Structure 1
């Protein structure tokens, strides 16, 4: 069984979600630090174009998006579960809301002009502008909340989270689940990366106590690995075979083996191209070749991603 390799950078909120899920499972993993902004040549060598953070690498299999990473970790180590038996559908639904509506309200507040100026005040000259330009490119054609509207939404969402914590330590019960990790990371970004704006959390002390409980879980045990070594591991490995019993859900009229592109629906819409090797109920898998990474399988969740056939 290949080791778990997380490609991430410390200030990434979605990476914090993945790190906490690894800690929740008590897993050992390798940590590869990647750039926060483009260019990301080693990331693109693995994915073919997808550049969002984090990625989970297992040998020559590359898993994109924390929604899919959660499923992979659950399969790898079922206990303790990320998806509680009594609320599997609810936990996924809350997580999807947190990764979208809550996340963008948090970002609109935390990275408002005032917030961004505070966050990058002590960083090297030009870093803030480079970050802003990079994220603007990733948000092309997205409709964003204005800072005042984001602030209002963020306050409302925090109150909703607080009401879920009225009589229980975690959002859906006595133990944390995917809903908690998804709701936590946008708030972590505000509290940890821009503490000057963290006072918005003070009106919901139950939420702050819940955040402390989640932070105490930690990130498991990790060891640093260079990006070059991770590419070498991919090159030396063979993607896990897709068994004949894996069902094919054809919603597009695109045959397996076709050259396709896959991209996120909205944020970070860079495409990855490859041969379609699987399209199950929950994920797509493409096979691609790279001089440095070798033959890899890149996996995406169905929800939130667009599949298209590439015609000559």
Structure 2
């Protein structure tokens, strides 16, 4: 198996989700730090345009979006599972809620003035302005939730998590599953990056205890890796063989067609390539880059759009 390479940065909440799953599964991995804001030339040499954090690389295979990365890690290390059979559907639904509803409300709460002061302590005004402009662009012009609205929503969501945790250590029982890792990462940002605002957890002691249990899972065994080394590894590797199930057509777009894939809302930078697989759960594009060589870039179906590339 190729080395697991995670392209991320330390304060990324979604990266924390994957770092903890790597720790939970006791997988060894390599760490490539990427910029918080665009441009990200080393990352986009691999992805072809996708810029969100994190990205997982295995040789010449590049996996985008944490929902897909979770599936890949589960395939590599099925034990301990993050998808227990009896709750697999419910766990996935809660994880999707956490990523799409809990996360934006938590981050809107975190980025009120007291939180911003802690996140950017010691940073220059130019750094702050660049971050704000970058995230505004990622939202595609959509407004961010107001802090007062976010506070009320976040409190409601924390109470719901507390209800799920009543009488048990994790959201669905005695062991953590994908829902726990997805729900934890935005709360982790509040606790670790904006501690001035962490008093919001005081009303839900079950959540605070659960967060302590999640934190001690850790990140497993990892070593630093440079972006150039990761690109050389991709260039020297060959993409893994595609699974037998390679085509479920929902768009009347044949395999071999030049297509564009993009997220359906936040961070919509497109990736163009040749469609070589469209399974029940994912798309795969074949791309060639001067630095990365021939790579396969993989996306989940859910949360992404597929269109023919313009001629």
TM range (shorter): over 0.9
Secondary structure of 1:78's aligned partner: coil
Asked if 1:71 is matched to 2:71, the reply is yes
Instruction: Give the drift of 1:246.
Output: 1.6
- The verdict on how the C-alpha distance between 1:311 and 1:119 changes in structure 2, with shifts beyond 3 A counting, is closer
Instruction: Give the drift of 1:125.
Output: 4.0
Any idea what the Cα deviations from partners look like across 1:183-205, whole Å, max 9, x if unmatched? 00000011101111111111111
In 2, distance between residues paired with 1:15 and 1:118?
A: 20
Instruction: Give the drift of 1:109.
Output: 0.4
In 2, distance between residues paired with 1:193 and 1:209?
A: 18
Instruction: Give the drift of 1:122.
Output: 2.8
TM-score (norm 1): 0.98
- The verdict on how the C-alpha distance between 1:49 and 1:143 changes in structure 2, with shifts beyond 3 A counting, is same
Q: Check whether the contact 1:142–1:266 (CA below 8 A) recurs between aligned residues.
A: no
Q: Check whether the contact 1:61–1:239 (CA below 8 A) recurs between aligned residues.
A: yes
In 2, distance between residues paired with 1:311 and 1:254?
A: 13
**Unmatched 5+ residue regions in structure 2?**
none
**What's 2:266 paired with?**
267
> What stretches of structure 1 move > 6 A for 4+ residues in a row?
none
Q: Check whether the contact 2:114–2:197 (CA below 8 A) recurs between aligned residues.
A: no
**What's 1:84 paired with?**
84
Any idea what the Cα deviations from partners look like across 1:46-92, whole Å, max 9, x if unmatched? 00100000000000000000000000000000000010111000000
Secondary structure of 1:274's aligned partner: strand
Asked if 1:140 is matched to 2:140, the reply is yes
In 2, distance between residues paired with 1:8 and 1:122?
A: 22
Instruction: Give the drift of 1:115.
Output: 2.4
**What's 1:13 paired with?**
13
Secondary structure of 1:130's aligned partner: helix
**What's 1:185 paired with?**
185
Q: Check whether the contact 1:142–1:267 (CA below 8 A) recurs between aligned residues.
A: no
Q: Which moved more, 1:200-209 or 1:68-77?
A: 200-209
Any idea what the Cα deviations from partners look like across 1:122-148, whole Å, max 9, x if unmatched? 334432222111111101143532111
User: 1:89-104 counterparts in 2 under 5 A?
Assistant: 89-104=89-104
**What's 2:41 paired with?**
41
**What's 1:286 paired with?**
285
In 2, distance between residues paired with 1:14 and 1:104?
A: 12
Secondary structure of 1:257's aligned partner: coil
Instruction: Give the drift of 1:296.
Output: 0.4
User: 1:120-269 counterparts in 2 under 5 A?
Assistant: 120-243=120-243, 245-269=244-268
TM-score (norm 2): 0.98
Q: Check whether the contact 1:116–1:128 (CA below 8 A) recurs between aligned residues.
A: no
Any idea what the Cα deviations from partners look like across 1:9-52, whole Å, max 9, x if unmatched? 00000000000000010000000011111110000100010000
Corresponding residue pairs, total: 311
The Cα RMSD (Å) is 1.0
**What's 2:106 paired with?**
106
